[in-house]
Amino acid sequence: MNKNEAFLVNIPSEHRYYLPADSDHWHFFYLTLAGDFATQYTQRSSIASPVFKMPEDSAVIHQLKMMLSLAKNDQFTSLFQASKESYHFLMNLQAYLSDLSHHTFPPAIEQAIAFMTAHFNEDLDVTSISEVSGLSIYHFSRLFKQMTGTTPIDFLTDIRLHHACERLANTNETIHTIARATGYQNGNYFSKVFKKQFGTTPSLYRKDKQRFFERTWTIL
């Protein structure tokens, strides 16, 4: 591991990391996230290697320092707040990693991702998404999974739930309103998808009665 590098791994796993040859010490941060969502995130990550470049002035590091400061000063007042910050950290990391590997995506996949990002609140399915790519459903689905590590529908679900979490955390909109605004026909189906993904309901997430996902902090 060298300066301005980071790695993402599941724990426990078979990995080792070493000091650079020209250094006898490190100054580094690490964050441990536990729970189903964190596990699914690492499994779906599309990076080719667990080690990747991470500049010190990146938005990811800036947020990590902010979270560290909050934790050290006992300013996390609830599991809801910790879960929200952890989720935002993962979304920023995903955005950074997507930019890092974006140039490797074929144009058909780039077009599909851009379409889903812009139209996530509409009634989309694999057929409509594959039409944008210009590929057959079969070819598109195989290529999308190969390039991103997930299916088109799961990718779309991640986008939708990211926006849903933002609305749950920052607005007083009803569950039905949020469902319709993020591409779901009704609140019941939205709640089922949300609970399957995160292990809790949208209402409980909003009320902070149940953990969004477990988290642990290690302060060095």
Mean pLDDT per block of 10 residues along the chain (220 residues) reads 76 71 75 71 61 76 80 76 77 75 75 92 96 95 86 90 83 94 95 86 72 36
Contacts of 77 by beta carbon, 8 Å cutoff, 6+ apart: none
Nearest of 83, 91, 74, 87 to residue 204 by alpha carbon = 83
Which fold does the domain 5-104+150-216 belong to in CATH? Arc Repressor Mutant, subunit A (1.10.10)
Q: pLDDT tens across 7-28, in order?
A: 877 777 777 777 767 777 777 7
Sorted by where each begins, the domain ranges of the chain are 5-104+150-216
| pLDDT of amino acid 126 | 96
Question: Can you list the pairs that 191-195 forms with residues at least 24 positions away whose Cβ atoms lie under 8 Å?
Answer: 193/157, 193/161, 194/161, 194/164
Between CA 190 and CA 164 the distance in angstroms is 9
| pLDDT of amino acid 108 | 93
Nearest of 42, 32, 10 to residue 149 by alpha carbon = 42
CA within 13 Å, CB half, 144: 27
| pLDDT of amino acid 100 | 65
Q: Are 110 and 102 in contact (CB under 8 A)?
A: yes
CA distances from 56 to 26, 30, 62, 138 (A): 14, 14, 8, 41
**Residues comprising the chain, all counted:** 220
Contacts of 30 by beta carbon, 8 Å cutoff, 6+ apart: 218, 220
